[in-house]
Amino acid sequence: MDDPSAIPPVQLSKRAARRLIQRAFVLAGRDRGVRQAFREARLTTAWNLEDWGFPFTLVLDRSKVQFDRCPAKKIDATFAWPSAEQFFEDVESGRMERVQHEGSHEWDRSFELLFTVFASALRGLLQNPVDENGDPLDLCLVVADPQGGNA
């Protein structure tokens, strides 16, 4: 992040990070290439930032990408990062390099595309956190926690 006005991910509260991640997946789901890649898919995927205890579900149903905060019961694939720091490093690079992936590998190339588009959207939101109407997102920044986490 070379932009000095950009919000460093480590300063985001978990609530703010969740809102930005959800918004970035909504934006990624609107991408024509992503919709095309998943046009035949019916998948439920679990995603997790383990050190934050931050699981969420992405449902891919015939070109539609839906974000859900609740863990799903029947999972086709799981993507987990041991730490939020590693997740945001992958977002910065636009590649899923530090992820632990379990489950079906049939859709790996499509998930790489989804993550690349998602990462681009999230980087844009970190630089300019606004909603679809151009209104600023209400984000809470966190000052460093002595235990190394954030609330």
Q: How large is the average pLDDT for residues 106-116?
A: 92
Q: What percent of the chain clears pLDDT 70, i.e. is strictly above it?
A: 79
Instruction: Find the range with the poorest average confidence among 46-50, 83-87, 141-145.
Output: 141-145
For residue 4, give the amino acid letter: P
Structure tokens at 112: 């790489």
Collapse the DSSP code of 86 into the 3-class scheme (helix H, G, I; strand E, B; otherwise coil) and give the result: helix
Which one, of 139, 138, 90, 149, lies nearest residue 114 by Cα?
A: 90
pLDDT top residue among 90 and 12 = 90
pLDDT top residue among 69 and 139 = 69
Q: How large is the average pLDDT for residues 53-75?
A: 91
Q: How large is the average pLDDT for residues 45-69?
A: 93
What is the structure's pLDDT at 17? Answer: 86
What is the structure's pLDDT at 132? Answer: 67
Number of helices and strands in the chain (H, E)? 4, 5
**pLDDT confidence bin for 39, thresholds 50/70/90:** very high
- Rounded to the nearest angstrom, the gap between the alpha carbon of residue 16 and the centroid of all alpha carbons in its chain is 12
pLDDT top residue among 13 and 27 = 27
Query: Across all residues in the chain, what is the average pLDDT?
Result: 83
